[in-house]
Amino acid sequence: MENIWLSVLLMAVAFVVTTIAYPFVLAFARKHGIVDNPSVRKLQRVPVPVMGGTAVFIGFLTAVVAGWFFLPSERVMKLTALLAVMYAIGVWDDIRDVSAEFRFIVELLIVWLMILLLGVEMNHFHGFLGINEVPDAVSVPFSLIAGVGIMNAINMIDGVDGYCSTYGMMACAVFAAIFWKAGAVPMFALALITIGALLPFFFHNVFGKTSKMFLGDGGSLMLGTLLAFFTFNTLTAGRPCDLVFENTGLSLVALCLAVLAIPVFDTLKVMVIRLFRGQSPFHPDKSHLHHLYIEMNYSHMATSAIIVLHNILIVGLLLLSWWLGADATLQVLIVIAAALLYTWGFYFFMEEQRRKNDGEGTALWKRWCVHGNNITNLPFSIFIRKIVDSKLLGGGDWLPQPKNKIDPRVGNPAPTVRKAKDVVSRIAEEE
């Protein structure tokens, strides 16, 4: 019980530090023009600072260092170092645009170091297809592919306000429950710390107007790396999770897949679409599930809530099937079927409805489209916006500002590499 309260305290530390750091990071991003600019494939209409992941990382790192004095863990510190590398690569990509090939190599290296230094890998299938522990010759290549896949799946869902942070908090909550049940206190604390660090960013990202920032590749790649580690840690033979859940009948493979269901299967769908078009699987476009909801006039908040709620329902469906006595193989198949039905079936069905009648859409499509007010304009949302956009939390005049005063929603008007590339991309696509 003492360790549980200590973990909650560390989560509070992450929350407070992220809240304090946020306005300073925001001012820095404005001053140096580190923004994500509008383009034909972007959903925002004005440039938005893109260093939200930095504030999250500062809060996360502070809580981890504080936790070292009470819950010393060499594995946690090694993991933090790997997360710092991915955070740095992501920030570099936000500012200068790293090539997909270079980033892919770094991701492979990080996953390999995770296996080598932390001793975690996906080497126990917990009865799926009758398979239990597998040899390194199989598990290591499989883990490399899965780890990089998870990183990129989380990176790719950072497309609408609140989605990546809401999903990240949900996933960490489920993993926290797994680690608490297994008695893995450092992992439990790490999951709670991540929730604490993401929560202040969520409020600014969803409700903020003058204080809005995007998570950016720095934050999403760090989060993806952490969730890959949580998955590996859960599916490593001989680890606490394996030992505690071994005789419960609950498939940890199915549980991890359920937590990652929508980002992973939506990313697979997007890559298949791009390959069929003759494009690189990493070519940016608007074929994600969240783009469909935006096309149907759902707000960013509603889009994020609906998708994450569906992911929670998939986890619930798995637990129901386990409670009803489904074996490990059936549990995995149920999760796969539910994820495919939503991310592939629903998406392609609605896309077909949208394209009919010369692009006007069918009656069904029009009924699904939202014609109400944006939920962010409700009194409750406006009240939260006033708080997060206040001088204290949103970056007021007491913080360092550029010499040339600018609209804080727009960012530094000075040209950046990202801005130049987006302009060129937009002209090319319009032609």
How distant, in Å, are the alpha carbons of 127, 288, 313 from that of 348? 33, 11, 20
Each residue's pLDDT expressed in tens, for the chain with a length of 431 residues: 568 889 999 999 999 999 999 999 999 998 888 887 665 455 555 678 889 999 999 999 999 999 988 888 889 999 999 999 999 999 999 888 888 889 999 999 999 999 999 999 999 888 888 888 899 999 999 999 999 999 999 998 887 889 999 999 999 999 999 999 999 999 999 999 999 999 999 999 999 888 899 999 999 999 999 999 999 999 998 888 888 888 888 999 999 999 999 999 999 999 998 888 888 777 777 889 999 998 898 888 889 999 999 999 999 999 999 999 999 999 999 999 999 999 999 999 999 999 888 888 899 998 888 765 566 677 888 888 888 888 888 765 444 544 444 444 444 444 443 444 443 344 344 33
Report the pLDDT value the prediction gives residue 418, as an integer from 0 to 100: 44
Report the pLDDT value the prediction gives residue 39, as an integer from 0 to 100: 56
Report the pLDDT value the prediction gives residue 372, as an integer from 0 to 100: 56
How distant, in Å, are the alpha carbons of 86, 93, 136, 308, 346 from that of 313? 31, 34, 34, 9, 15
Report the candidate in 36, 30, 31 with the shortest Cα–Cα distance to residue 48.
36
Report the pLDDT value the prediction gives residue 379, as an integer from 0 to 100: 80
Q: Among positive and negative, which fits the CA dihedral 369, 372, 373, 379?
A: negative
Report the distance separating Cα 5 and Cα 396, nearest Å.
Answer: 34
Query: How far is residue 172 CA from its own chain's centroid?
Result: 10
Query: How far is residue 142 CA from its own chain's centroid?
Result: 22
Report the pLDDT value the prediction gives residue 416, as an integer from 0 to 100: 42
What 8-state DSSP symbol labels residue 408? T
Query: How far is residue 183 CA from its own chain's centroid?
Result: 26
Question: Cβ contacts of residue 179 below 8 Å, gap of 6+?
Answer: 185, 187, 188, 191, 240, 241
pTM of the predicted model as reported, rounded to 2 decimal places: 0.88
Question: Cβ contacts of residue 242 below 8 Å, gap of 6+?
Answer: 124, 126, 235, 236, 252
Report the pLDDT value the prediction gives residue 417, as an integer from 0 to 100: 39
Report the pLDDT value the prediction gives residue 108, as an integer from 0 to 100: 96
How distant, in Å, are the alpha carbons of 40, 157, 169, 263, 265 from that of 274? 17, 16, 29, 16, 14
Judge residue 75's burial from the number of C-beta atoms within 10 Å of its C-beta, 0-12 exposed, 13-18 middle, 19 or more buried: middle
Residue type, 353: Q
